[in-house]
Amino acid sequence: MLTETSIQFLERLLDTPGPSGFEGAPARVWRDEAAAFASVSADVVGNSMAVVNDAGGPTILLAGHIDEIGVIVTYIDDNGYAYIEPIGGWDSQVLVAQRIRFLGRNGDVQGVIGKKPIHLMKPDEREKVSKMTDLWVDIGATSRKEAEERLHVGDAGVIDQRVLRLPNHRIVSRAIDNRIGAFVVLEAARRYAAKPGAARVVAVATAQEEIGYSGGGARVAAHSTGATMAIAVDVTFATDHPGAKKEEVGDHKIGGGPVISRGSVIHPLVVQMLRDSADALEIPYTLHAAGRFTSTDADAMQLARDGVATGLVSVPNRYMHSPNEMVSLEDLDRAADLIAEACRRVTAKTDFTQR
């Protein structure tokens, strides 16, 4: 299992606010940790890189995005109430009555999301889903002037929810998707550095995946690192809770091991390498089918430059895009071992061209 030191780093990473486009704070936490064993850098997009075995080859890119979903201030009214729109994909119902932490220019600004009380609603209103436009944020200000002394249009925020440890090696956080991907690729690089193979490995905490309609930071990283092979690490839907449709998503349990994707954008030789590595290490895993695209960093990386042989390893996640996403620490540990072993199997003679 992961060491207590690694888990404490993970908790710091998860608790540090960093929605898409505003990932600077968690990226610094990630780079500080990476500097203990890797050569560290950052780029203009917001990606953070950690290179191990720099003299090796070919280059393998390990990508886990470090951003989380959040909100951004769009307007402050005369009474000091702030209005918001989403950064990333929200179920607006989840936001009702939550506490929000904004990244203000002079420090964090806390507030609560308000909505008309149920007592004042008409019967038909009670049956309607709350829209983002029905909500506002109360930061305790009494006027626009007072509010703007602390908060400005364009300030980003996240739900003010901290990490919670639960029994059976489970951890809960608002930022599981996908800061745990950034954690896993760094942990995999750490384990690879302790027992390196021939390849040069670049772990990247990528930026802007949750809004990455054009590929986000992963597209930039795939170009700049010169990767021949890439593995994206993200979360996928756990289907071991009430109401889950295994027929639609697959059979993926928390604590059941990592999930290896197969499909049109996933390179079959990378898939086989991952499966062989899992079998050799006796790591349990499940398979996920992606017929068109994966909605992860893998989609952007596989078409970078003249093509990158790309795989996708995911961690089963309950309650995705909510204040209380849940994963198993055992799955994070196994995913890191799996990826490090797959990297050791790559040499200069590895041919990813399908002939």
- What does 154-196 look like in DSSP terms, one character per residue? T-EEEE----EEETTTEEEETTHHHHHHHHHHHHHHHHHHHS-
**Cis peptide bond upstream of 268, omega within 30:** no
| pTM given for the model | 0.95
The CA-atom distances, in angstroms, between 192 and each of 85, 93, 103, 345, 348 are: 41, 42, 35, 11, 17
Which of 141-155, 171-185, 244-258 comes out lowest in average pLDDT?
244-258
Catalytic hit among 33, 187, 209, 330: 209
Report the amino acid identity of residue 256. Answer: G
Task: Round to whole Å and give the CA distance between 149 and 124.
Answer: 39
> Mind listing the domains of the chain with CATH numbers?
4-68+174-344 (3.40.630.10), 70-159 (2.40.30.40)
- Report the Cα 268 to chain-centroid distance in Å: 24
- For residue range 243-295, list pLDDT tens digits in order: 888 988 889 999 999 999 999 899 999 999 999 999 999 999 999 999 888 99
Overall average pLDDT of the 76-90 stretch: 96
Q: Is 4 a catalytic residue?
A: no
Residues 334/341, Cβ–Cβ less than 8 Å = no
pLDDT of residue 355 exceeding 70? no
Task: Round to whole Å and give the CA distance between 282 and 258.
Answer: 12
Task: Round to whole Å and give the CA distance between 307 and 254.
Answer: 33
Residue 127: pLDDT band by 50, 70, 90 thresholds?
A: confident
Query: What's the whole-number average pLDDT of the chain?
Result: 95
Which of 33-42, 91-100, 218-227, 331-340 comes out lowest in average pLDDT?
91-100
Report the amino acid identity of residue 181. Answer: G
Overall average pLDDT of the 334-354 stretch: 95
Token pair of 197, please? 């193979």
Higher pLDDT, 144 or 214: 144
Task: Round to whole Å and give the CA distance between 180 and 331.
Answer: 11
